[in-house]
């Protein structure tokens, strides 16, 4: 990672999904930024100022230290309005819904691939620990707990998660032969999170990298093509979504929706864990506050639409079986 001074500084890690999501966004914004390893920085100061131990954290030109990529992108959109990652109006809701699915659901596939395959686990742990075997061992001990928390402990769920990701890659391969990005000819926050997953996890770790290699357009896009955006282009309208968008939306009702609603109920009840049916199996998950906070951000975006936009969005959400998740 570069240590040259920059207008913005991202403190994170090259194997962090959300660090690489924010990095992709900064490239699309055309912002001057530097990506630095949090491990080699003043960790205590960063965590105190940002209020979190998680990465990434963005240091702004005003000397603000901010975390959480979704609101960060919304803030940066106001600074780079011609290169927004969240469009205004109905399309902004579409992008937010799709981004939410990858942020809070598909992220579990990344966790599974990294920590359930010994070669990938050792590779990632050693790289995250900068070659320190003692630190790497502690990291590897954490991995299986993360898998249990995100519902990929059983062989059935592991296989289903991999098949789900494979279908997504197939849809992306077809889409990227037709358009420059996943929702049309310009990038959005959806492209950022998909690129973050590829660059930090599935086109990085040895085992999933062999899976991704079957999709040459996806590989080329992630490694080079996506970063060449010239700031131009338009998105497909809500009435004529890209095939990739339709594919993801068609899967959300049976996966993301039951998960996020069960987590919301668990948070209300103060429960530490909850069960819900995913891929015809009763699955245990750790109850976490952030997925509910993220869902509420989306609810707020939808409710802030004007009446005309509401009349478009509500039937659309019902069409894909998503309305009850965002009431």
Q: Is residue 164 part of a domain?
A: yes
Does 207 have pLDDT greater than 60?
Answer: yes
Q: How large is the average pLDDT for residues 103-120? A: 97
Q: Do both 216 and 257 map to the same domain?
A: yes
Q: Is residue 3 part of a domain?
A: no
Residue 157, pLDDT score: 97
Residue 135, pLDDT score: 87
Residue 125, pLDDT score: 95
Q: Is residue 2 part of a domain?
A: no
Q: Do both 78 and 177 map to the same domain?
A: no
Q: Do both 190 and 66 map to the same domain?
A: no
Burial 15-53 (b: 16+ CB within 10 A, else e): bbbbbbbbbbbbbbbeeebbbbbbeebeeeebbebbeee
- The CA distance from 54 to 57, in Å, is 8
Does 109 have pLDDT greater than 90?
Answer: yes
Does 147 have pLDDT greater than 80?
Answer: yes
| Secondary structure element (H or E) that encloses residue 317, with its range | helix 307-319
Q: What is the phi-psi region of residue 89: left when phi exceeds 0, alpha when psi lies from -120 to 50, beta otherwise?
A: left
Q: Do both 117 and 208 map to the same domain?
A: yes
CATH number of domain containing 13: 3.40.30.10
Residue 327, pLDDT score: 86
Q: How many domains, in total, are found in the chain?
A: 2
* Tens-digit pLDDT profile for residues 236-284: 999 999 999 999 999 999 999 999 999 999 999 999 999 999 999 999 9
Q: Do both 40 and 101 map to the same domain?
A: no
Q: Do both 266 and 147 map to the same domain?
A: yes
Q: Do both 55 and 118 map to the same domain?
A: no
* Tens-digit pLDDT profile for residues 16-75: 999 999 999 999 999 999 999 998 999 999 999 999 999 999 999 999 999 999 999 999
In the block, tokens 């497909």 appear at 236
Q: Do both 174 and 205 map to the same domain?
A: yes
Q: What is the DSSP string of 26-52?
A: HHHHT--EEEEEGGGS-HHHHHHHHT-
Q: How large is the average pLDDT for residues 101-127? A: 97
| Average pLDDT score over the chain | 96
At 216, list the tokens: 């040459």
Among the candidates 24, 48, 83, a domain finishes at: 83
At 120, list the tokens: 């990938």
- The CA distance from 259 to 17, in Å, is 20
Which three-class secondary structure state does DSSP give residue 205?
coil
Q: Do both 216 and 254 map to the same domain?
A: yes
| Secondary structure element (H or E) that encloses residue 70, with its range | helix 69-79
Q: Do both 300 and 275 map to the same domain?
A: yes
* Strands (DSSP E) found in 120-266: none
The confidence band for 6, taking pLDDT boundaries of 50, 70 and 90, is low
Q: Is residue 125 part of a domain?
A: yes
Bridge-based pairing of strands 33-37 and 8-12 is parallel
Q: What is the pTM of this model?
A: 0.96
At 299, list the tokens: 């609810």
Among the candidates 83, 111, 144, a domain finishes at: 83
Q: Do both 135 and 210 map to the same domain?
A: yes
- The CA distance from 68 to 63, in Å, is 16
Which three-class secondary structure state does DSSP give residue 290?
helix
Q: Which domain holds residue 74?
A: 8-83
Q: What are phi and psi of 314, to 5 degrees?
A: -60, -50
Least confident of 14-23, 122-131, 185-194, 200-209: 122-131
Q: Is residue 192 part of a domain?
A: yes
Q: Do both 126 and 189 map to the same domain?
A: yes
Q: Is residue 1 part of a domain?
A: no
Among the candidates 22, 54, 83, a domain finishes at: 83
């Amino acid at each position: 990672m570069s240590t040259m001074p920059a207008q913005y500084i991202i403190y994170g890690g090259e194997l962090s999904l959300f660090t690489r999501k924010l990095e992709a966004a900064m490239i699309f914004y055309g912002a001057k930024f530097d990506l630095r390893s949090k491990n080699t920085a003043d960790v205590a100061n960063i965590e105190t100022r940002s209020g979190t131990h998680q990465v990434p954290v963005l240091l702004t030109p005003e000397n603000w230290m901010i975390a959480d990529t979704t609101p960060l992108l919304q803030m940066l959109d106001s600074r780079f309005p011609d290169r927004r990652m969240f469009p205004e109006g109905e399309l902004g809701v579409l992008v937010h819904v799709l981004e939410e699915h990858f942020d809070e659901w598909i992220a579990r596939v990344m966790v599974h691939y990294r920590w359930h395959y010994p070669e990938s686990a050792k590779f990632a742990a050693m790289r995250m620990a900068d070659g320190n075997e003692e630190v790497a061992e502690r990291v590897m001990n954490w991995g299986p707990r993360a898998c249990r928390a995100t519902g990929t402990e059983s062989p059935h769920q592991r296989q289903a998660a991999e098949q789900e990701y494979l279908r997504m890659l197939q849809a992306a391969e077809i889409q990227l032969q037709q358009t420059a990005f996943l929702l049309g000819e310009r990038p959005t926050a959806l492209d950022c999170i998909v690129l973050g997953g590829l660059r930090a996890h599935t086109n990085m770790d040895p085992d999933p990298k062999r899976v991704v290699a079957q999709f040459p357009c996806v590989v080329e896009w992630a490694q080079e093509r996506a970063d060449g955006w010239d700031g131009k282009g338009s998105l497909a309208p809500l009435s004529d979504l890209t095939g990739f968008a339709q594919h993801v939306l068609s899967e959300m009702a049976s996966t993301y929706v039951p998960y996020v609603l069960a987590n919301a109920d668990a948070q209300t009840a103060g429960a530490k864990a909850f069960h819900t049916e995913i891929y015809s199996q009763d699955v245990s998950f750790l109850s976490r506050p952030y997925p509910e906070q993220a869902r509420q951000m989306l609810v707020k975006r939808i409710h802030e639409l004007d009446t005309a936009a509401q009349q478009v969005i509500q039937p659309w959400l019902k069409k894909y079986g998503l309305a009850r998740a965002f009431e």
